[in-house]
Amino acid sequence: MKTNARNVIVLGGTGFLGRRLVSRLAERGCRVSVGTRFPGAAARSRRWGGGVNLVRTNLKNRSALARVLAGCSAVVNCIGYYAETRGESFQDVHSEAARRIARLVRENGDQRLIHISGIGASLSSPSAYVRARAEGEAAVRTACPGAVVLRPSVMFSRNGAFFGDLQKIAARLPVIPLFGMGRTRLQPVWVEDVAEAVCRILDGGRVGRKVIELGGPDIFTYREILQRLIVRSGRRRLLLPLPFALWRIAAALLSPLPQPPVTQAQIALMQRDNIAGATAAGFADLGMEPQSAIAMGLV
């Protein structure tokens, strides 16, 4: 299947979802630009293959961003941060940059925009991260009414992300802390399925609504996931409930680290169920049946 968007730029194309999307688009014969702040480092970190061009992006510089987007038939915004820095806040990345990108796409007239957000985005959330994601969605829909917003649940991969990371914890720690009582429900989705969903929209797939929620076929509580992984490890482990207030204190203490093991954004996401709405558009609207983590032998 060939995508109708022949020249695509993926902003955040070096990230967890972005690099998989770039590979799929290149396999479909697209010319793909990977928007990144550090193209030199990205070029050294992996082989990108033919048809892929690394371009420097500056989300705060409107004119520079306009030059990068010019000439593309489609823009996919995969940019996502879980931790703020001194130079960039959640508001900067998830709200203001999203608005700037959407306005440029609208001004270009013949471009398509797919904006990656996440299930649970809410303007009323006490979390700055969750609010910024929701503000970004609203800004995109206002500035570029034709844009499609994708909200994936927590994404996993075959080679470790999410389930593999939790499996390592189950293998190493005799006592495993839970977020609260571990009752938060999750609907993990295979990252390759999310990348394929983006491609299908660019292929011309029509959906009745402009917001699509993507969750896998399996729904677990956080406790259930850990229990299944503990059984797989063949070890005995104690699950220890910890109040979210303690998690927030821990995240604050760990925040100066270059890559903190837990962030305030992740804690906020674990305080609410992360599952697709019963009436939301989803994989079925794209003619897809998502892969099961259980069937894949990951949990």
- Burial of 297 from C-beta contacts in 10 A (0-12 / 13-18 / 19+): exposed
Residues of the chain with pLDDT under 70: 1-5, 205-208
Helix 191-202 and helix 18-27, axial crossing angle in degrees, nearest 10: 50
Contact (CB, 8 A) for 294 and 216: no
Domains belonging to the chain, first-starting first, are 7-155+189-215+274-286 (3.40.50.720)
How far, in Å, CA of 35 to CA of 54, rounded?
Answer: 6
- Single pTM value for the model: 0.94
Q: Name beta bridge partners: 272.
A: none
The pLDDT score that the predictor gives to residue 4 is 56
Beta strands (DSSP E) in 57-179 are 74-77, 112-116, 148-152, 155-156, 175-179
196: enclosing H helix or E strand = helix 191-202
Contact (CB, 8 A) for 61 and 238: no
The pLDDT score that the predictor gives to residue 5 is 61
The pLDDT score that the predictor gives to residue 237 is 96
Tally the C-alpha atoms within 13 A of residue 241's C-alpha that lie toward its C-beta. 7
